[in-house]
Amino acid sequence: MLATNEVTEGIVSLADVAGLTSRVSTLTNQKIQEIQKITGRMRMLALNAMIEAARAGTAGAGFSIVAQEVRGVGGEVAQVAATLEQELAGQIGQLERLIEVMEVQARGMRLVDLALNAIEIVDRNLYERTCDVRWWATDSAVVDCAASPGEESCGYASERLGVILGAYTVYLDLWLCDLGGKVLANGRPDRYAVVGADVSGEPWFRAARELASGDDYAVADIARQPLLSSATTATYAAKVCAGGRANGAPLGVLAAHFDWAPQAQTIAEGVRLSNDEKARSRVMLVDAAHRVIASSDGQGVLTERLALRLEGRQSGYYVEPNGSLVAFHATPGYETYRGLGWYGVIVQDAR
């Protein structure tokens, strides 16, 4: 028997409903089987009664009629049980399928929301990086060094960049470059000996040189930077302009190398999943080419590309043939940061 207090007050999940439906289905089948057993016994009793009535001859004629009626009733009950079994089986089966669909929809929508939350945190974080690099490019020490790169001015610029790094621990280094791509000063010369290096071939440098003004910024894809001990960086760059004015003559480029790996890993691991969900879920950030740039399991970073089935959608979910649920959401951007076409992605194995 089903207990009347199996569903108590509080949050009822679709799993609870599915479990209850399954128990109802089992109970219904048990009761139908019991009815079928009873009708079988009634038929057997009716048959025996008819045999005994035949032996009794004329005296048993009335008893024979009763036996036939019992047999007929048994047949009708059996037919009702068979019909009930067929109809209930169909209805319960349909209900179970609907619950499965609803459960996938609920999980999918929740994971989409969590994927959005992850990529929004990234957007807000990187928006601040775009503000930082444009602001620091107007620092007087940076402007003076780019305008007149002597030993003293470069040393002072390096000192100023070091002060900035002391307050902003999310950066690996800051580089001041001339318009030819030569590094003039950096904030951590004791750790990274990059002064004099040629970075003219770097995507972020080439993009920064083409910026219209000091109000704009450039950014490259997540990459390993050999000059920073092959650390994984997100590099944001801005023009250094004469007088620190946005419309001043271009003097150089300031690059801020964001320490991407630990920050992104924290975001991927921090998505609010239950312990059970974490054990069977993989949270990822992927770039516009669907290359994995962060993963909660630490696997495939910068080497794996996901075959996302976007189908023209900015967000959504789908179920893989193996039963895994894949949820995704595109970067919405934040303030003046438009985003780079990245996605938050969560892949969750079937239960």
> For 293-349, what is each residue's pLDDT tens digit?
999 999 999 999 999 999 999 999 999 999 999 999 999 988 888 889 999 999 999
- What confidence tens digit (pLDDT) does each residue in 183-227 have? 999 999 999 999 999 999 999 999 999 999 999 999 999 999 999
The residue range of the domain holding 235 is: 137-263
- What confidence tens digit (pLDDT) does each residue in 21-66 have? 666 666 666 766 766 666 666 666 666 666 666 666 665 555 555 5
Residues 320 and 251 in one domain: no
Amino acid at 41: R
Instruction: Report the alpha-carbon distance of residue 98 to residue 155 in Å, rounded.
Output: 70
Q: Tell me if 343 sits within 8 A of 122, measured CB to CB.
A: no
Q: What does DSSP assign to residue 305?
A: B
The domain boundary, picked from 222, 244, 263, lies at 263
Q: Can you give the pLDDT at residue 87?
A: 65
Q: Tell me if 133 sits within 8 A of 207, measured CB to CB.
A: no
Paired tokens of 126: 């990187």
Could you give the number of structural domains in the chain?
3
Q: What is the CATH number of the domain that holds 222?
A: 3.30.450.20
The domain boundary, picked from 263, 296, 318, lies at 263
Strand partners, 199: none
The domain boundary, picked from 105, 129, 159, lies at 105
Averaged confidence pLDDT in the chain: 85
Instruction: Report the alpha-carbon distance of residue 324 to residue 140 in Å, rounded.
Output: 55
